[in-house]
Amino acid sequence: MNSLRGKIVFITGASSGIGRATAIAFAEQGARLLLCARRIDRLTELARELAALQSEPDVFTFRLDVRDPVAVNETLANLPEEWRDVEVLVNNAGLSRGLTPLYENDPLDWDEMIDTNIKGLLHVTRHLVPGMIARGSGHVISMGSTAGKETYAGGAVYCASKAAEKAIMEGLRIDLIGKPVRSTSIDPGMVETEFAQVRFRDEDKGRKLYQNITPLQPEDVADAIVYAATRPKHVNIHTILMTTIDQANSTVFNRHS
């Protein structure tokens, strides 16, 4: 098992859902936590919660919108010296907007998904991987989705963004061959988070998505992320594809009566 005690784990989109659960899971491993999100108030609240989990709390939070490449580069370049040696990067920031036919989509929604799910991942990864290579140790873990493997109605652009994540992580793995830096894609199906509320911009409609089904919980995905990160350093988990027992793929679900 690869111990992460005292190592820096950087999680994007850490203010809620999978990112929040992943921060808690790594805190339990004794990792130092570098956390960013757009909602700094939620990060501050999370930092207080993490302080109760660690005998020696070590958390650094900051606001960052990964859609802004200038902000990404400037913010990460100006981190305090003691927070620059990131051992594990978790590219968690991501979202979906809308569930309408492609020809009815709002192009601004396309921009938000592409800029967050693809370009945000690229800019953060591009900034941090050279340091991992130079130090001889590191791991990039990115959030994919079952949506990246099978397109569903109304989800063309979101599915395309997750298919891009798959290709990017496969390409990164090839580019890193011979270097001591690992790369992993975590590909969950339905997870009960604010994802659906964000997608529909409607809290009630978002909640209905999870009715009469047993979805994955953020903690389930966090557990998979920590598993991948804590394997022996010669072991690289390429992909973890995971769903609830009530989901076969992106379109087939067991709805309880």
Q: Which residue has the tokens 């390429």?
A: 238
pLDDT band at 55 (very low <50, low <70, confident <90, very high): low
Structure tokens at 85: 């040696």
The answer, yes or no, to whether residue 126 has pLDDT greater than 70, is yes
Distance CA 76, CA 73 (A): 5
Output the CA–CA distances (angstroms, integers) from residue 98 to 121, 159, 239, in the order listed.
Answer: 21, 12, 27
DSSP category for residue 247: B
The larger pLDDT score, comparing residue 200 to residue 33, is at 33
- Are the C-beta atoms of residues 228 and 240 closer than 8 Å to each other? yes
How buried is residue 256: exposed, middle or buried, by Cβ count under 10 Å (0-12/13-18/19+)? exposed
**What's the one-letter identity of residue 140?**
V
How buried is residue 27: exposed, middle or buried, by Cβ count under 10 Å (0-12/13-18/19+)? buried
Angle at CA 31, nearest 5°, toward 237 and 228?
Answer: 10
Number of domains forming the structure of the chain? 1
The reported pLDDT for the residue numbered 209 is 81
Domain assignment of residue 139, yes or no: yes
The answer, yes or no, to whether residue 224 has pLDDT greater than 80, is yes
The reported pLDDT for the residue numbered 206 is 72
The larger pLDDT score, comparing residue 57 to residue 65, is at 65
The parent domain of residue 164 ranges over 8-242
Phi, psi for residue 110 in degrees, rounded to 5: -60, -45
The one catalytic residue among 103, 152, 158, 210 = 158
The reported pLDDT for the residue numbered 57 is 65
| pLDDT tens readout for residues 136-174 | 999 999 999 999 999 999 999 999 999 999 999 999 999
pLDDT band at 205 (very low <50, low <70, confident <90, very high): confident
Domain assignment of residue 31, yes or no: yes
| Known catalytic residue at 103 | no
Distance CA 192, CA 175 (A): 34
Question: Which regions of the chain does DSSP assign to beta strands (E)?
Answer: 8-11, 32-37, 59-63, 86-91, 138-143, 181-188, 239-242
Output the CA–CA distances (angstroms, integers) from residue 180 to 4, 89, 129, 130, 166, in the order listed.
Answer: 16, 14, 11, 11, 21
The reported pLDDT for the residue numbered 146 is 97
Report the mean per-residue pLDDT for the chain.
Answer: 95
Domain assignment of residue 34, yes or no: yes
Domain harbouring 132, CATH code:
3.40.50.720
pTM of the shown model:
0.96
**What's the one-letter identity of residue 82?**
E
The reported pLDDT for the residue numbered 195 is 85
Residues 6+ apart with CB under 8 A from 114: 157, 161
Domain assignment of residue 247, yes or no: no
pLDDT band at 40 (very low <50, low <70, confident <90, very high): very high
Greatest extent of the chain over all pairs of C-alpha atoms, in Å: 56
Domain assignment of residue 3, yes or no: no
pLDDT band at 135 (very low <50, low <70, confident <90, very high): very high
